[in-house]
């Protein structure tokens, strides 16, 4: 099988300049970004992406949802889709989503300028409303979810997304680039307990129906429940309240919001089962009624083995060793993986900060990630579109 020439080198200065340019759209005085999906800044960012690609001589277009795509003019596919989202949470950092969008634009522009065979088979995307903070959003991932139901998905043969890690694991482990094996499923629960409010002085322990104890015991136990079911899973108790909330009144009602993340549905099911058992047991001990209400569930995504393998190969080529990571944050890639062979690459986040103006990644990692994305695009093309390479190389 013939192989293409060595992948071309991205334009380092253009990549870093464009990251900074997009970071100025919707930026507050302290550098925090406010590109909530659909707001003026978000729409200005999409316009800027559209115009930037047009200026390069590429075809850029919006779909009905608000996703912005770009590709070479007069190509007929199939295309390898690459990108990320350009919206943000309020007071966001400048890399979450944006980095993957700019890197994808850089990859296509580089391939196009070098007239590389894969230039005809790459499409970039800036997803609409990944974050889900827009008023009326049904939990985000709006643009990618829409694509899974769009006939255009039939023209695509795989999806790659480059993203900052948003956590501290790579930095702590000294990793410069990591292939991502999948994305955790996320389930949220509200644990509510109802007992009997009463005088905290005159009601002996054995006669209490203390709803507060049900939820504090559940919150305190969550970590053990997760670790027992799956050492790679995590959980959080983020919101808690007692009623009527007085120091000298036994709580008659209480609730806590829990979130659990794990790499497989089996692990999520096991955790949920243990949680329900524990809450039922504690509620019985405390003489309360309790409910575990699953308020949302995003399924776990396990990435395509073949595409993942090529990402891993490229990562190893660049960094020697490489450690596969599971993503604990959600991404459009999890939705798209239900429709297309999908994989992701991570670069480190300094200090692990994200959703904050402290979000940062060193320039060398930003450049490395974008180059690795380009190399993966070429590698995936060689593997999944061999005839294209043959034809293009013959034609060249």
For a second copy, the binding residue among 242, 278, 308, 389 (CB under 8 A) is 242
Position among 8, 167, 195, 381 found at the interface with a second copy (CB under 8 A) = 167
Distance of CA 169 to the CA centre of its chain: 16
Q: Which one of 5, 173, 246, 280 is in contact with a second copy (CB under 8 A)?
A: 246
Instruction: Specify burial of residue 35 (Cβ count, 10 A radius: 0-12, 13-18, 19+).
Output: buried
Is 213 a binding residue for a second copy by CB under 8 A? The answer is yes
What span, in angstroms and rounded, lies between the C-alpha atoms of 381 and 307? 10
166 binds a second copy (CB under 8 A): yes
CB atoms within 10 A of CB 324: 14
- Report the alpha-carbon distance of residue 152 to residue 301 in Å, rounded: 22
Distance between CA 57 and CA 39 in Å, rounded?
Answer: 28
Q: Is 65 in the site for a second copy (CB under 8 A)?
A: no
Return the beta strands (E) in the chain as ranges.
59-62, 68-71, 79-85, 122-127, 156-164, 178-183, 185-194, 198-199, 234-243, 249-250, 253-262, 289-298, 301-302, 325-327, 342-347
Out of 203, 357, 388, 390, point to the residue binding a second copy (CB under 8 A): 203
> Is 236 among the residues that bind a second copy (CB under 8 A)?
yes
Residue 360 in contact with a second copy, rule: CB under 8 A: no
- Residue 178 in contact with a second copy, rule: CB under 8 A: no
The yes or no reply on residue 174 touching a second copy (CB under 8 A) is no
Mask of contacts with a second copy, 118-157, x by CB under 8 A? ----------------------------------------
Q: Which residue has 């071309």 as its token pair?
A: 8
187 lines the binding site for a second copy (CB under 8 A): no
Interface with a second copy, residue 204, by CB under 8 A = yes
Does the protein bind a second copy through residue 278 (CB under 8 A)?
no
329 contacts a second copy (rule: CB under 8 A): yes
Between 256 and 315, name the residue whose CB sits nearer to a second copy. Answer: 256
| Interface stretch with a second copy, choices 71-79, 123-131, 135-143, 257-265 (CB under 8 A) | 257-265
Least Å distance, CB 272 to a second copy, is 15
The residue within the footprint of a second copy, chosen from 12, 63, 150, 259 (CB under 8 A), is 259
Should residue 250 be labelled a site residue for a second copy when binding is judged by CB under 8 A? yes
CB nearer to a second copy: give 51 or 172: 172
Site membership for a second copy, residue 357 (CB under 8 A): no
Q: Answer yes or no whether residue 294 interacts with a second copy by CB under 8 A.
A: no
Q: Closest separation between CB of residue 155 and a second copy, Å? A: 32
Please give the Cα distance from 33 to 137 (Å, whole number).
Answer: 19
**Cα(128)–Cα(88) distance, integer angstroms:** 10
Tell me if 240 contacts a second copy by CB under 8 A: yes
Q: Of 301, 195, 311, which is closest to residue 250 (Cα–Cα)?
A: 195
Sign of CA dihedral 109, 383, 97, 150: positive
Stretch in the footprint of a second copy (CB under 8 A) among 40-48, 99-107, 142-150, 351-359: 351-359
Kindly tell me which residue out of 11, 148, 198, 357 binds a second copy, with binding defined by CB under 8 A. 198
User: What is the Cα–Cα distance from 274 to 68, expressed in whole angstroms?
Assistant: 43
160: Cβ–Cβ under 8 A, 6 or more apart, which residues?
80, 81, 82, 307, 311, 342, 343, 344, 345, 373, 376, 377, 380
- 196 secondary structure, DSSP code: B
**In what helix (H) or strand (E) does residue 99 lie, and over which residues does it extend?**
helix 98-113
Q: What is the DSSP annotation of 225-241?
A: HHHHH-TT-EEEEEEEE
List residues binding a second copy (CB under 8 A): 165-169, 172, 184, 186, 188, 198-205, 207, 210, 212-213, 216-217, 219-220, 223, 227, 234, 236-242, 245-251, 257-259, 261, 328-330, 352, 354-355
């Amino acid at each position: 099988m013939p192989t293409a020439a060595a992948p071309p080198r991205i334009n380092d200065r253009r990549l870093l300049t464009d990251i900074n340019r997009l970071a100025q759209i919707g930026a507050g005085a302290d550098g925090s970004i406010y590109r909530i999906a659909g707001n003026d800044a978000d729409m200005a960012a999409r316009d800027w992406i559209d115009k930037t690609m047009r200026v390069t001589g590429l075809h850029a277009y919006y779909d009905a949802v608000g996703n912005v795509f770009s590709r070479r003019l007069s190509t007929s596919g199939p295309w390898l889709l690459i990108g990320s989202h350009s919206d943000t949470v309020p007071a966001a950092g400048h890399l979450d989503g944006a980095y993957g969008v700019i890197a994808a634009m850089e990859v296509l522009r580089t391939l196009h300028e070098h007239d590389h065979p894969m230039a005809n088979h790459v499409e970039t995307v800036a997803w609409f409303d990944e974050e889900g903070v827009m008023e009326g959003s049904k939990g985000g991932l709006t643009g990618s979810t829409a694509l899974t139901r769009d006939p255009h998905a039939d023209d695509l043969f795989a999806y790659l997304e480059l993203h900052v890690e948003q956590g501290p694991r790579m930095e702590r482990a000294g990793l410069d680039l990591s292939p991502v094996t999948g994305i955790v499923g996320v389930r949220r629960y509200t644990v509510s307990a109802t007992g009997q409010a009463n005088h905290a002085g005159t009601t002996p322990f054995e006669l209490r129906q203390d709803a507060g104890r049900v939820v504090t015991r559940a919150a305190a136990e969550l970590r053990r429940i997760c670790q027992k079911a799956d050492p790679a899973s995590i959980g959080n108790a983020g919101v808690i309240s007692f009623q009527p909330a007085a120091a000298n009144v036994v709580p008659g009602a209480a609730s806590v919001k829990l979130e659990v993340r794990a790499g497989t549905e089996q692990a999520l099911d096991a955790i949920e089962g243990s949680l329900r058992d524990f809450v039922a047991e504690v509620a019985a001990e405390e003489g309360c009624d309790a409910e575990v209400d699953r308020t949302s569930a995003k399924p776990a995504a396990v990435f395509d083995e073949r595409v993942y393998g090529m990402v891993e190969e490229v990562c190893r080529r660049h960094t020697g060793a490489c450690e596969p990571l599971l993503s604990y944050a959600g991404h459009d890639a999890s939705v798209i993986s239900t429709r297309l062979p999908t994989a992701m690459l991570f670069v480190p986040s300094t200090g692990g900060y994200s959703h904050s103006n402290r979000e940062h990644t060193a320039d060398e990692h930003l450049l490395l990630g974008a180059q690795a994305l380009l190399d993966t695009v070429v590698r995936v093309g060689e593997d999944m579109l061999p005839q294209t390479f043959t034809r293009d190389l013959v034609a060249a």
